[in-house]
Amino acid sequence: MKALVYQGPGQKDWIEKDKPGIEKPTDVIVKVTKTTICGTDLHILKGDVPAVTPGRTLGHEGVGIVEAVGDAVANFKPGDPVLISCVTSCGKCANCKRQLYAHCDDGGWILGHLIDGTQAEYVRIPHGDNSLYPIPEGADEEALVMLSDIMPTGLEIGVQYGRVKPGDTVAIVGAGPVGMSVLLTAQFYSPGKLIMIDMDPARLELAKQFGATDTLQVGSVDVVEEIMKMTGGLGVDVAIEAVGVPATFDTCQKIVSAGGSIANVGVHGKPVELHIEELWIKNINISMGLVSTNTTPMLLKTLGSGKVDPAKLVTHRLKLDEIMDAYEIFGNAAREKAMKIILTA
Ligand SMILES: NC(=O)c1ccc[n+]([C@@H]2O[C@H](COP(=O)([O-])OP(=O)(O)OC[C@H]3O[C@@H](n4cnc5c(N)ncnc54)[C@H](O)[C@@H]3O)[C@@H](O)[C@H]2O)c1
Ligand SMILES: [Zn+2]
Ligand SMILES: [Zn+2]
């Protein structure tokens, strides 16, 4: 079969590789029908995630058809259409029992990281019973691909950790796929204002179409000053960081109101300066974490009811064997006006 393989920093290839087989009785082999590229894959390619070693197939998002199941798999059989979660979980260990699947004893984020991922014709999913979801009849598969990672990430680590409530003023720093997923899922809670912040005017324009009440372009306005004007000097109830650099975390520290929350979603490679000397007196909450995808069943229901349409994040559609071109487009997202690329086998 063909797979997109990491060959060391800056290098990747679409090459012939052995088709995965059942290794443990809890494994499921999935024939990938649709997958996509995540910002995290670009981090890996830069060499930012040294746990990924050369030869690793990338990708942790997608949908497919069950090809084979191990003897212990009870929920799936060959031919079943499935949604692949970016987080693998046994469903039985102490952390799984409290739905903290990100920290499963025998799972967590391993796909396209510690084991071969979904940017291939076939993928082996450990603990298939708990790590796959049946695809409801008539569901939009492109929308479902957004449920592998970015939608649960936005909802769990942005909106839920940030404690977004009805009427809140929410600022989202970063209008990439993850920031946009925060924007879409925050609307479940009817916030009063949704302020999107980015330097890319095209992404801010898209954010308006997706429900942002206000947008602020970094570089053309003083973001902190504008937020203070908009909020009568109070700041925002919830500041959500969806980029992963010190500057954007710092913006969140400056714009959070007394009693508010900072929810960090971005993956950081460098330390940030925590201004505890200013924040201690403000009764704020700071949160961060890795997505557990425990909200996936809930997101599947909201999708079914038409309450949210993550398929609108898809800007490009290519064939799976055009994945090298897709990386080129996704790696130049601002120039190409790209958000999410669907790769169909
Ligand atoms: N916590 C988790 O479980 C989890 C899961 C998935 C992704 N992530 C992380 O979430 C972050 C966002 O992911 P993405 O795929 O949307 O990334 P992305 O790179 O596509 O988007 C980031 C956006 O931030 C904007 N940006 C860059 N610098 C900025 C600045 N100084 N001020 C304002 N905006 C700025 C960019 O223009 C871009 O639109 C990444 O760090 C990613 O690794 C975290
Ligand atoms: Zn991802
Ligand atoms: Zn577990």
Distance CA 176, CA 248 (A): 13
Q: pLDDT tens for residues 104-138?
A: 999 999 999 999 999 999 999 999 999 999 999 89
Residue whose Cα lies nearest atom 27 of ligand 1: it is: 243
Whether residue 216 sits in one domain with residue 96: no
Whether residue 11 sits in one domain with residue 107: yes
Tokens describing residue 294: 């425990």
* Residue 224 in contact with ligand 1 by CB distance below 6 A: no
Residue 314 confidence (pLDDT):
97
Q: Classify strands 28-35 and 2-6 as parallel, antiparallel or unpaired.
A: unpaired
pLDDT band at 269 (very low <50, low <70, confident <90, very high): confident
Whether residue 261 sits in one domain with residue 167: yes
Whether residue 135 sits in one domain with residue 168: no
* Residue 158 in contact with ligand 1 by CB distance below 6 A: no
- Mean pLDDT over each residue of the chain, to the nearest integer: 97
Q: What is the DSSP string of 163-228?
A: T--TT-EEEEE--SHHHHHHHHHHGGG--SEEEEEES-HHHHHHHHHTT-SEEEEBTTB-HHHHHH
Is residue 28 scored above 90 in pLDDT?
Answer: yes
DSSP 101: G
Sign of CA dihedral 42, 85, 197, 274: negative
Distance linking the first and last C-alpha atoms of the chain: 12
Is residue 48 scored above 90 in pLDDT?
Answer: no
* Residue 244 in contact with ligand 1 by CB distance below 6 A: yes
Whether residue 284 sits in one domain with residue 162: yes
Distance CA 345, CA 339 (A): 20
Residue 15 confidence (pLDDT):
98
Count the domains in the chain.
2
CATH at 95: 3.90.180.10
Residue 268 confidence (pLDDT):
87
| Exposure letters 83-104 (e unless 16+ CB within 10 A, then b) | bbbbbbbbeebebbeeebbbbb
pLDDT average, residue stretch 155-164: 98
Cβ-Cβ contacts under 8 Å for 232 (sequence gap 6 or more): none
Distance CA 116, CA 114 (A): 7
Cβ-Cβ contacts under 8 Å for 233 (sequence gap 6 or more): none
Please give the residue range of the domain that contains residue 164.
152-288
Distance CA 134, CA 75 (A): 9
Give the end of a domain, one of 245, 261, 288. Answer: 288
The CA 109 to ligand 3 mean position distance, Å, reads: 12
pLDDT average, residue stretch 49-58: 96
Whether residue 97 sits in one domain with residue 32: yes
Whether residue 215 sits in one domain with residue 136: no
Whether residue 55 sits in one domain with residue 183: no
Whether residue 209 sits in one domain with residue 74: no
pLDDT average, residue stretch 90-108: 98
Give the end of a domain, one of 272, 288, 304. Answer: 288
Whether residue 337 sits in one domain with residue 199: no
Cβ-Cβ contacts under 8 Å for 220 (sequence gap 6 or more): none
Higher-pLDDT residue of 21, 267: 21
Residue 300 confidence (pLDDT):
96
Whether residue 205 sits in one domain with residue 167: yes
The CA 268 to ligand 1 mean position distance, Å, reads: 10
Whether residue 110 sits in one domain with residue 71: yes
Give the end of a domain, one of 288, 318, 333. Answer: 288
